[in-house]
Amino acid sequence: MIDKKMEKAINGQINAELYSSYLYLSMSAYFDSVNLGGFSHWMRVQAMEEQAHTKKFYDFLTARGGRVVLSSIDAPPTKWKTPLAAFENVLKHEQLVTGLINDLVDISVKIKDHATNSFLMWFVDEQVEEEETADGIVQSLKLNANNPGGLFMIDKEVGQRMFVPPTGVTL
Ligand SMILES: [Fe+2]
Ligand SMILES: [Fe+2]
């Protein structure tokens, strides 16, 4: 049986993952509104990934005898000044999520919950990737700040992204 404190913290993370999905879906709508279909597609894939993260926490909590409790999800922003501003927001948000994952790890260490600690390591690694990817796109957009041709090239490139569900996750 999972500790009540850990259960509460994981339910909080389920909300944070759902908010992430909501945020990226909102960014997808923003990119549609400015006719950047590649970026819009990238954000939809990103939103799906966050749904998969949600399910990973959900299934783990259930498997440990915990109770999933869903709470209200904050409304995300609806517009950004530029594609760069949107991706800077992605990076900032992922850094925040990394902090939340680290907090969960701290709790698991404190209460000596080794099973949850082991489970969380997947997310520790995932956040390294999330930050690296977002930072990479921020850097490309910065390099092409005054080059509309470059922006369309990046749009085309990120539009190739495919959704690969993490192993063991049923959406
Ligand atoms: Fe996530
Ligand atoms: Fe993420």
Residue 119 clears pLDDT 90, i.e. is over it: yes
- Measured CA angle at 127 (ends 115, 86), to 5 deg: 145
Each residue's pLDDT tens digit, 42-71: 999 999 999 999 999 999 999 999 999 999
pLDDT of residue 171 exceeding 90, the answer is: no
pLDDT at 68 (0 to 100): 98
For residue 139, give the H/E element and its range: helix 114-143
* Rounded distance from Cα 1 to ligand 2 centre (Å): 28
* Ligand nearest to the backbone CA of 93: 2
Distance between Cα 115 and ligand 2 center (Å): 22
User: What is the model's pLDDT at position 105?
Assistant: 98
DSSP per position, 38-83 = HHHHHHHHHHHHHHHHHHHHHHHHHHTT--------PPPP---SSH
Measured distance CA(151)–CA(60) in Å, rounded = 40
- Give the Å distance between the CA of 25 and the centre of ligand 2: 12
Q: What is the rounded CA–CA span in Å between residue 31 and residue 83?
A: 8
Position 37 scores a pLDDT of: 98
41 DSSP 8-state letter: H
Distance CA 77, CA 80 (A): 8
Instruction: Please give the distance, rounded to the nearest whole angstrom, from the Cα atom of residue 94 to the centre of ligand 1.
Output: 8
**86 C-alpha vs ligand 2 centroid, how far in Å?**
14
Question: Ion ligand 2 — residues with CB under 5 Å?
Answer: 130
Mean pLDDT computed over 117-134:
98
Q: Which ligand is nearest to the CA of 95?
A: 2
Q: What is the DSSP letter of 165?
A: P
